Structure 1
Amino acid sequence: MKRMIVLWMQAILFSLIVSVGSASCSTDDPTLPTQPEPEQPVPPANPDEPGVDDNPGELGNNDNPDDNNPMSNNLKISIGSSSFNATLEDNATATAFKALLPMTVSMSDMNGNEKYYYLQGSLPTASSNPGTIRTGDLMLYGSSCVVLFYETFSTSYSYTRLGRVDNPSGLASALGSGNVTVTFELQ
């Protein structure tokens, strides 16, 4: 009988550990239904496809001819035939993100309000809870999950701000549903 109780308690402990450790780039209110979160990052788009980096998001992969202009915080986000101008923050996280640019990645959809991509390395963080996510916010969840939000909503999660789309009108329709290829480059 004691052995069964011990096994039962171990099973409960294991379930708690697994459920706590499965947090991902979730940005929605935890009380609302969410889509299943992937256990691993979604693989990038077909590397043979034109315009897709061989090693997107890899730290130190900088093919940017404008490296000599570290002051530029103007970002261009291209999605299909649409492009959006964004302004990067003046912080260590955005500076490290700029060092990765240009990069083309396949971003996955979550909760019908964000697209996300896991970088291959970590960026410095200074996360805080913004309270409200706004359409066009570009954030870092944890130290390696880049998130582009296309809906405004309240959140209890913490992020490090990377930047913001200057005029997010049309961003949601450009991103669509499901995975989408997105290019981030300095202007």
Structure 2
Amino acid sequence: MKKVLFCLLALGFLGGCSTKEEPKDVTYDWAPPFEEVRWSMGEDAVFETLDLDEEDATLNVNPEKQRVFSFASAMETEVGMVAPDFIFEPGFGLVGVNLHYIPMEKEAAETLAKLEAAYGKSDDGTWSGTKFGELNLSDEQVAAFKKEADIDKDEPVVTIALNQDAQAVKYQECVFEGKNAAILEQVLAK
């Protein structure tokens, strides 16, 4: 009986001395501007979540080999009515979203106000989310991430940029760049 008890204690002690790092909780700013849509989701999952039909979109492949689905009809988001583009990259899923707003002066001020309400004050129409160095990643997670992307600790995981150039053809376009977040989501899922 003493031997069995001693063996159980020894196993418990050795198990407690494990050097394996436990995964840490990781949160960052920001998700795509659609409820229940997350970076790295596949095309089918995004379209199903938003009740969109792929046939209603124009599909283009950009120079980076990303598939861009452009929808002409407007839909409601937390930052206003927009016609969205969804950008998917093979192996990473959803990596970007472009929102196209109505090109009118009054709406431009409303758009900026909605974005600032959702993402904070901006002097230049850009927002930077959580920086890579602030993520509370384990050494193993950092190594897995760095296999896929070269990112500095001071670079944000997600950026948002609003174009309100009155001279541009696309007067109001808001670009959500989330490739680093898509990579992060895949690292965290492992």
- What interval of TM-score do these two structures reach, taking the shorter chain for normalisation? under 0.3
Q: Which has the higher helix share?
A: 2
With normalisation by structure 2, the TM-score equals: 0.26
With normalisation by structure 1, the TM-score equals: 0.26
